[in-house]
């Protein structure tokens, strides 16, 4: 395994390879080339307060504008490079691009937070926090809490010691973390205690079926209870309809993102979306049940 990775890394720098070796490193080479060709773009999906309508942040979601195959979602290419150094290069590009876009929005008068997905190997790089600090210093107008990071619950558990430490150090830089796709890993109280992430994002699979599947509703209630006990913010992913949003607010889950609010969109559309967005009829006046 290590040998294969070594070869792939070699290939990134365009060294001569035997045809068989070139085939072996296909996706890695192609993605390295696509990074230098500027073929990746970030789409942004709003995260809103479902009760007040306030725009909390936008999540940056990568797309590959492939010259032959069109716009590719991350599921088409991220799994091919998982754990490979080129995935860390891509994370690095994403972070830089999200910071550049944040700066552009500030220039346009849109004061917004941007949430960025990071792979767990990226967070385990020994100089990740130092490099993040340098990036933030180079973008002085990106204030505290305006850049947020997300890591998958499942991958945070791969090296919980290291990832918790990175999360804690980022917090001192004013960069809060979210545990992404929460509920798909072990989701235990013990792990949550060890991972000092400010936010928890409930996986869309539980949210999608909450209206029809009482088990998923129970999982949702459990996660909300855990989050409240540990004073973490909760965001529901996959809010596909106003009915979902209503039920979430009634359960005390006030933040959400999903097709029912807005689909991921190019950066150029965010300003107009934010200006035109109003809390839908069916959500105005919706209350958390059991509270005043
Ligand atoms: P994620 O971070 O959990 O992002 C949410 C995914 O759910 C996005 O898929 C989004 O388009 C989709 N989604 C949002 N609302 C709804 C909804 O109402 N219904 C349904 N069915 N889906 C919804 P996308 O953009 O395809 O991204 C998939 C995953 O790829 C992300 O899941 C994240 O884990 C990963 N990813 C995306 N961008 C990046 C990136 O820049 N870096 C890294 N390391 N991973 C990324
Ligand atoms: Mg995410
Ligand atoms: Mg997620
Ligand atoms: Mg996901």
pLDDT tens digit sequence for 275-284: 999 999 999 9
Cα(290)–Cα(284) distance, rounded to whole angstroms? 18
Residue-level pLDDT at 187: 87
Query: Ligand 1 mean position to 210 CA, how many Å?
Result: 19
pLDDT tens digit sequence for 218-263: 999 999 999 999 999 999 999 999 999 999 999 999 999 999 999 9
pLDDT tens digit sequence for 113-159: 999 999 999 999 999 999 999 999 998 888 888 999 999 999 999 99
Residue-level pLDDT at 137: 94
Q: Return the ligand number nearest the Cα of 202.
A: 3
Query: Ligand 4 mean position to 180 CA, how many Å?
Result: 7
What number does the ligand 1 atom closest to the CA of 94 have? Answer: 41
Torsion of CA 131, 132, 137, 141, to 10 degrees: 160
Residues contacting ligand 1 via CB (< 6 Å): 45, 60-62, 73-75, 78, 91, 94, 117-119, 150, 180-181, 204, 237-240, 257-259, 264
Residue-level pLDDT at 292: 47
Query: Ligand 3 mean position to 187 CA, how many Å?
Result: 14
Query: Of all protein residues, whose CA lies closest to atom 25 belonging to ligand 1?
Result: 61
Which backbone phi and psi does 172 adopt, to 5 degrees?
-70, -20
- The pTM (predicted TM-score) of the whole model is 0.92
Torsion of CA 25, 28, 30, 35, to 10 degrees: -160
pLDDT tens digit sequence for 188-199: 899 999 999 999
ipTM of the complex: 0.98
Specify whether the CB–CB gap between 43 and 265 falls below 8 A. Answer: yes
The DSSP line for 132-153 is HHHHHHHSTTS-TTSEEEEEEH
Residue-level pLDDT at 141: 86
Burial of 89 (C-beta count, 10 Å sphere; 0-12/13-18/19+): middle
Residue-level pLDDT at 143: 84
- DSSP strand pairing (255-256 vs 233-236): parallel
Alpha-carbon dihedral sign for residues 79, 80, 84, 86: negative
Residue-level pLDDT at 140: 84
Query: Ligand 2 mean position to 7 CA, how many Å?
Result: 31
pLDDT above 70 for 87: yes
């Amino acid at each position: 395994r290590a040998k294969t990775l070594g070869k792939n890394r070699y290939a990134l720098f365009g060294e001569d390879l035997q045809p068989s070796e070139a085939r072996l490193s296909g996706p890695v080479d192609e993605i390295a080339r696509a990074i230098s060709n500027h073929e990746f773009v970030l789409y942004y999906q709003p995260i809103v307060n479902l009760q007040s309508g306030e725009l909390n942040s936008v999540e940056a979601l990568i797309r590959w504008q492939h010259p032959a195959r069109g716009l590719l979602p991350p599921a088409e290419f991220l799994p091919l490079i998982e754990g490979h150094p080129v995935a860390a290069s891509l994370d690095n590009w994403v972070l830089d691009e999200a910071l550049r876009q944040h700066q552009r929005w500030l220039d346009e008068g849109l004061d917004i937070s941007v949430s960025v997905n990071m792979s767990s190997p990226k967070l385990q790089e020994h100089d990740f926090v130092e490099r993040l600090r340098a990036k933030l210093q180079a973008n002085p107008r990106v204030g505290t809490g305006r850049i947020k990071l997300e890591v998958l619950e499942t991958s945070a558990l791969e090296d919980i010691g290291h990832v918790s430490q990175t999360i804690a150090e980022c917090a001192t830089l004013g960069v809060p973390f979210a545990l992404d796709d929460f509920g798909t890993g072990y989701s235990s109280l013990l792990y949550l205690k060890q991972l000092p992430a400010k936010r928890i994002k409930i996986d869309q699979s539980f949210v999608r079926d909450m209206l029809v599947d009482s088990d998923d509703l129970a999982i949702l209630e459990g996660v909300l209870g855990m989050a409240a006990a540990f004073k973490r913010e909760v965001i529901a992913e996959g809010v596909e309809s106003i009915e979902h949003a209503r039920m979430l607010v009634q359960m005390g889950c006030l933040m959400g993102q999903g097709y029912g609010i807005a689909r991921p969109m190019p950066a150029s559309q965010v300003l107009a979306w934010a200006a035109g967005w109003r809390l839908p009829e069916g959500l105005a006046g919706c209350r958390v049940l059991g509270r005043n």
